[in-house]
Structure 1
Amino acid sequence: MKRLIIIFLFIKMFTCYAQQVKQSKDSLIQLAIENRIDNYHDLYRFFGRGRFKKEEIDLLLKKSKQKEYKLGEVFAYNLLGRHYRNNSFFDKSIENYTRALDLSRELKNVSAEIITLNQIGVVYRRQDKIRSALNYHQMAFELADNIEIPDTDTKISISISNNSIGNIYLALKQYQLALEKFKKSILIQEKTGDKRGLAINHQNMGYAFKSIGDIDAALEHYHKSLDYNIENDSDVGRVICHQSISEVLLLQGKHNEAYDYIKKVVPLSEEIGNQFYTVNVYTTLGNVHLKLDSLENAKIYLEKGLKIAEKHKIPSGVNQANLYLSELYEKKKNYEKSYNFYKKAIEGERKTFNDKNILYVNNLINKYDNEVSRNKIKSLAKENEIAKLKLLRNRNILIIALVSIALLGVLLYSMYRQRLLNNDKKILMLEQEALRIQMNPHFVFNALNSIKLYIINNEQKNAVYYLNKFSKLIRNILESSSVKEVTLSEELKTMNLYMSIENIRLSNEVNYIEKLDSNVNVERIKVPPLILQPFLENSIWHGLSSKKGEKKVSLLVTKISDEFIQIDIIDNGIGRDAAMEIRKSKSLNRKSIGIDLTEERLRNFSNEYKNNYALVYTDIIDEDGKAKGTKVSLKIPIV
């Protein structure tokens, strides 16, 4: 009887507590609507980090509509989007997030729009829809980045966008690019004290390091993430970290420790109800049982994970479960089933990976198209400014000539000469800037097509290798376009990348060699950016492309005095005369102006030095008087 009374009192106390919590959330909703909080981040902080139940979200939405409190509607639709995303009903999630996005744009509330765009990107990323995910995260990043004086909340939104784009790079297996994004995000989060963001980013960095084989670094970042999640009291964070740490322990052969880590969060994951994470927990637990030779338990959890992943269309979960089931049936010596599951896993992974790579390349092309369009606009603006300066110069010539003849003569003429020199200098600088922002699209698209061919031929390692080189080259070109000089070290690195990309189209037949004198300090010597590219291009396409047999280009850097260095570019091609004959025989003979522009840039560069540059072409002749190559010698002043 006494026990029944205790149970009754406990139930009564729990019921009263639940009613108080419900009343508290209802009163908060009522208070928020009455005060009509107009800042999205303030509204988020007002409700605190407590989770909303579905009926509480519906109540917030209903009352916000009744009182025409639009920001409350945006907040409610975002909560619904999160609710459906966590339960893996992705279509319903997108539907509610889209309503929130439309309303936030109608209100012109940029903060709400940025947050909603990032959330939509997360939903598409969960479904491996990379193009859509990247588009939405990029839109969020650009909106936040365009705010002139960003507050703390905006900086956190920028870090979320960086984190999300980093996750897309993870899916594309571009781990170094992903790490760069996560590091940028962590810098912002450490300054703003965003511990939730720090937990997420350390988790992501752990995954990237695990993928490139740095297990110790992976475990270090996973434990940092777990510490932040414990401090934040995040159940979802605990589930993710325990599952990740368990995977690393398996790689280290610590199977029992892995089991202890993963089994702790199985009930918690099931209680949370987020099917995406539950799939990961089940498949990892199945893999742990597999390594412990507990095959029946492994089968139970792997089939559970596969069933949920197929139901909610989670491709990564389906592929992982199929791979582990293949290993399971191999241990059972049922090789037919093992082969079937393995085939499904590999086909799913290949389809996902190939699709992502093609999307990635296409996105890169789109970005380049946009960059070319922007450069054309800049070029037109510069040319217009040059034309105005030339008109101004001509007008000044006429005025000064007339006034000088009539009145001041020599005095006004000397003043005119000074102004004329200033205008000429401005024109030269503007012409140089206009030249710098002109990138040749033919080279870029040819390079992309070559990389795409590797992808089509399923040469994934070559595709990723050259794609990384190409992205570095484009970044170097874009960065160089905004500066007047670069170090010789930076120029040589860019030329090395350029030769690697051009060499793809010649089936990697060209042997490119760089030799530097030990007394040349490449970090201190300055040269105009991309100054060597036209000479290397001529060596490849005029000297070597028509040659049979061994193809070689050498770049030699020598300090010939305290005032000059000399750069020699030597090829073993067909020689200038033979190359000229081939060009004359072509039906379409387009005149190249690359070398002329390069010499103009060298003249302008040398004006700031005591000495002038020198450029000499030398035909290399064998003992029989036949051409066996060309040597270009470029003498550049250094003082």
Structure 2
Amino acid sequence: MKQLVIIPFLFFIIFSSYAINDRGSKDSLIHIAVNKKIDNYYELYRFFEKGRFDREEIDLLLEESKKNEYKLGEVYAYNLLGRSYRNNSFFDKSIENHLKALELARKINDVNAEIVTLNQIGVVYRRQDKVRSALNYHQMALELADKIERPDIDTKISISISNNSIGNIYLALKQYQLALEKFKKSILIQSRTGDKRGLAINHQNIGLAFQNLGEIDAALEHYNKSLEYNIQNNSSIGKVICHTSISNVLLLQGKYKEAYEYINEIVPLSEKIGNQYYTSEVYVTLGNVQLKLDSLDKAEKYLNEGLTIAKKHKIPSGINQSNLYLSELYEKKKDYKKAYTFYKKSIEGERKTFNDKNISYVNNLINKYDNEVSKNKIKGLAKENEIAKLKLLRNRNVLIIALVSIALLGVLLYSMYRQRLLNNDKKILKLEQEALRIQMNPHFVFNALNSIKLYVINNEQKNAVHYLNKFSKLIRSILESSSVKEVTLSEELKTMNLYMSIENIRFSNEINYIEKVDPSVNIERIKIPPLILQPFLENSIWHGLSSKKGEKEVTLSVNKISDEFIQIDIIDNGIGRDAALKIRKNKSLNRKSIGIDLTKERLQNFANEYKNNFSLVYSDVIDEKGNTSGTKVTLKIPII
């Protein structure tokens, strides 16, 4: 009996001695680092052999660094404090300490320390779903790292961390393809540098992207790769994350018992680590597993524990997920009042988070286009300046050649002048067209984005994504068309279809746009000037249909009327030309439309290269009672 008592006592003494020796070893390293004053942040990180610091050791490092005026040591200590608070989900405290580290890093002008600290701050904001702040800090870190001309391995790892974190932000925004692009950039660097920890994180994130895209097998493959790297690294937190993710995938596959084995195995490890963010996630996942296994009491216990932690530490994703599963739980218990209450909380929380993120995302997109507008305005001014110079040059040449012609009666010189004048006029016309396009695009882009933004604000997510995709295709088509002289009729019709879809948003999709193409017309081979049909469609909408009540329709038909011509008819059922003219006259501000005039000049330039000319005819559509019921534009274009 005495022996049984002595054995645990001896074990306690040995363990205590080991702990004291380990603490003494770490304390000794701290004193050496402070006295040595290691001047490279990454070298300081490696000096401590990536070891974990407890709170007393962090305080010792901070105290000794301050005492010896070792600023880099202070930066390192504040970042350790911030990370410690983050792992325990005390996010405000974490940010406070990381900001102290950032201020010191900038004060001593240590770029490496600044990059690491910016990434750390971004991670904390990302944990709280504060997308804009997270994105700003990771972007600052990335910009700093990109300015280094010859980045070493440590800097490349920091770049991969920034890309990985931005990818995680895209995950939160449900932009999974964009997230995968960032993860692939990050994993490429980690593979080259042999960064196993980074590879473990990236495979985990890629798995999550594939899971959300519905590619379950690919997700499971990457989760298992991540688990392999975490086992090699002996990363406890990594094992917890991977087991949770694999368990969720198994739930999706209906393998509830296997899911239970995976998640139940790491519950004690998660509780031991004490990271409240992941502990909440583990409890919620375990509760969901028990729910699927119909162990409702156990499910209720773990889901409530997960919800309590998420609320305490302000983890929106944990709160929303817990509420959703609790709704399902109480539905199974036939307590429909509670089920409805939790479901409502889940939907409201998810809607708030998702809407905030998407509005932020669209606003960011608008800001990018605003910057593009500013650039275009500068380009427009430069073009106008060039036009003015050409006009001055032309006028000067007129005077010189006129004087020379009078003095020498030089018919030859006059002919040369006329040729030069025509060339200048052609350049001026081309520049005026480019200047007009630059002026029109920003206005259209701004209105279109604002229309799409209304869908986001009204929580019409599918419509927002649908029209944002169409808008991006239209912008790409316009940009590509602006650099070429001719496009196929097929490409022009596709662009017009996109244009009508975007314009139709502002009419609450009331306009019915119809395209009719004669099968005998080979639209893939016929060439026309780019964006030549847009002004006529715009006139149909804004002069013919905007003031009309009731059904609105625009029909675009293409027919081959001979071997030498095709005919394009644009017919609207609007108010007609006379009524539209009266409305324009009654307006207080009348703006002269030069879009049609420029289109005619462009068609003339295009037709000059053919043996036949184009024709453009406007006519009224008359109904059976003899009343005007719309406008028809008939455009004949040469094809041979």
Report the TM-score, using the length of structure 1 for normalisation: 0.82
Cα deviation for residue 200 of structure 1 reads 3.6
Extract unaligned runs of 5+ from structure 1: none
* Separation of aligned partners in 1, 2:52 and 2:201: 18
Give the 3 Å change call, closer, same or farther, for CA 90–495 of structure 1 in structure 2: farther
* Separation of aligned partners in 2, 1:51 and 1:317: 27
Cα offsets for 1:262-315 (capped at 9, x unmatched): 123223323333221221111001111111122232222212211111111111
2:313 alignment partner AA: H
Contact 2:529 2:602 in 1 (8 A): yes
Contact 2:358 2:456 in 1 (8 A): yes
Cα offsets for 1:13-50 (capped at 9, x unmatched): 8458725852684377348x54523xx56665666654
Contact 2:220 2:246 in 1 (8 A): yes
Cα deviation for residue 247 of structure 1 reads 1.2
Partner of 1:293: 294
Contact 2:288 2:299 in 1 (8 A): yes
Partner of 2:614: 614
* Separation of aligned partners in 1, 2:374 and 2:418: 38
Give the 3 Å change call, closer, same or farther, for CA 197–547 of structure 1 in structure 2: farther
* Separation of aligned partners in 1, 2:402 and 2:150: 51
* Separation of aligned partners in 1, 2:569 and 2:294: 65
Cα deviation for residue 258 of structure 1 reads 0.7
Cα offsets for 1:383-403 (capped at 9, x unmatched): 234334444554565567667
Cα offsets for 1:219-255 (capped at 9, x unmatched): 3443344345445554333322221221121122110
Partner of 1:583: 584
1:22 alignment partner AA: K
Partner of 2:93: 92
Give the 3 Å change call, closer, same or farther, for CA 387–582 of structure 1 in structure 2: same
Partner of 1:355: 356
* Separation of aligned partners in 2, 1:83 and 1:603: 72
Output aligned runs, 1:118-197, within 5 Å: 118-141=119-142, 160-179=161-180, 181-182=182-183, 196-197=197-198
Percent identity, aligned pairs only?
A: 76
Partner of 1:381: 382
Cα offsets for 1:466-503 (capped at 9, x unmatched): 34444554565566667776666655444333322222
Partner of 1:533: 534
1:281 alignment partner AA: V
Contact 2:38 2:44 in 1 (8 A): no
Output aligned runs, 1:208-227, within 5 Å: 208-227=209-228
Give the 3 Å change call, closer, same or farther, for CA 427–623 of structure 1 in structure 2: closer
Partner of 1:325: 326
Give the match's secondary structure for 1:438.
helix
* Separation of aligned partners in 2, 1:74 and 1:280: 31
Cα deviation for residue 179 of structure 1 reads 4.5
2:265 alignment partner AA: K
Is 1:341 aligned to residue 342 of structure 2?
A: yes
Cα deviation for residue 558 of structure 1 reads 6.0
1:18 alignment partner AA: D
Is 1:29 aligned to residue 30 of structure 2?
A: no
Give the match's secondary structure for 1:539.
helix
Output aligned runs, 1:230-309, within 5 Å: 230=231, 232-309=233-310
Contact 2:323 2:343 in 1 (8 A): yes
Give the 3 Å change call, closer, same or farther, for CA 254–118 of structure 1 in structure 2: same
2:39 alignment partner AA: R
* Separation of aligned partners in 2, 1:268 and 1:575: 76
Cα offsets for 1:336-363 (capped at 9, x unmatched): 4333333332332233233333333443
Give the 3 Å change call, closer, same or farther, for CA 623–493 of structure 1 in structure 2: closer
Give the match's secondary structure for 1:574.
coil
Give the match's secondary structure for 1:128.
coil
Contact 1:330 1:338 in 2 (8 A): yes
* Separation of aligned partners in 1, 2:516 and 2:198: 47
Cα deviation for residue 517 of structure 1 reads 6.1
Partner of 1:310: 311
Larger CA deviation: 319-328 vs 384-393: 384-393
Cα deviation for residue 596 of structure 1 reads 3.1
Give the match's secondary structure for 2:439.
coil
Give the 3 Å change call, closer, same or farther, for CA 434–447 of structure 1 in structure 2: closer
Larger CA deviation: 456-465 vs 579-588: 456-465
Cα deviation for residue 94 of structure 1 reads 1.7
Contact 2:183 2:202 in 1 (8 A): yes
Contact 2:474 2:495 in 1 (8 A): yes
Bigger radius of gyration: 2
Give the 3 Å change call, closer, same or farther, for CA 223–627 of structure 1 in structure 2: farther
Give the match's secondary structure for 1:437.
helix
Partner of 1:101: 102
Larger CA deviation: 79-88 vs 419-428: 419-428
Contact 1:617 1:630 in 2 (8 A): no
Give the 3 Å change call, closer, same or farther, for CA 138–373 of structure 1 in structure 2: farther
Partner of 2:373: 372
Give the match's secondary structure for 2:547.
coil
Output aligned runs, 1:54-69, within 5 Å: 54-62=55-63, 65=66
Contact 1:84 1:90 in 2 (8 A): yes
Give the 3 Å change call, closer, same or farther, for CA 196–467 of structure 1 in structure 2: farther
Cα offsets for 1:566-598 (capped at 9, x unmatched): 654443333333332332233433323333344
* Separation of aligned partners in 2, 1:8 and 1:45: 32
Aligned alpha-carbon RMSD (Å): 4.4
Larger CA deviation: 145-154 vs 122-131: 145-154
Give the 3 Å change call, closer, same or farther, for CA 25–381 of structure 1 in structure 2: farther
* Separation of aligned partners in 1, 2:518 and 2:185: 38
Extract unaligned runs of 5+ from structure 2: none
* Separation of aligned partners in 2, 1:71 and 1:346: 46
Give the match's secondary structure for 1:552.
strand
1:286 alignment partner AA: G
* Separation of aligned partners in 2, 1:152 and 1:366: 34
Larger CA deviation: 535-544 vs 356-365: 356-365
* Separation of aligned partners in 2, 1:408 and 1:49: 92
* Separation of aligned partners in 1, 2:544 and 2:10: 96
Larger CA deviation: 167-176 vs 58-67: 58-67
* Separation of aligned partners in 1, 2:389 and 2:317: 59
Cα deviation for residue 193 of structure 1 reads 6.2
Larger CA deviation: 157-166 vs 330-339: 157-166
Contact 1:432 1:601 in 2 (8 A): no
Partner of 1:511: 512
Contact 2:129 2:316 in 1 (8 A): yes
Give the 3 Å change call, closer, same or farther, for CA 615–408 of structure 1 in structure 2: closer
Count of aligned residue pairs for this structure pair = 635
Cα offsets for 1:519-575 (capped at 9, x unmatched): 877677776654443232222222223344443333445677898776544433333
Cα deviation for residue 371 of structure 1 reads 2.9
Cα offsets for 1:98-142 (capped at 9, x unmatched): 233334444555555454444333322221223323333444455
* Separation of aligned partners in 2, 1:249 and 1:243: 10
Is 1:204 aligned to residue 208 of structure 2?
A: no
* Separation of aligned partners in 1, 2:75 and 2:562: 70
1:26 alignment partner AA: I
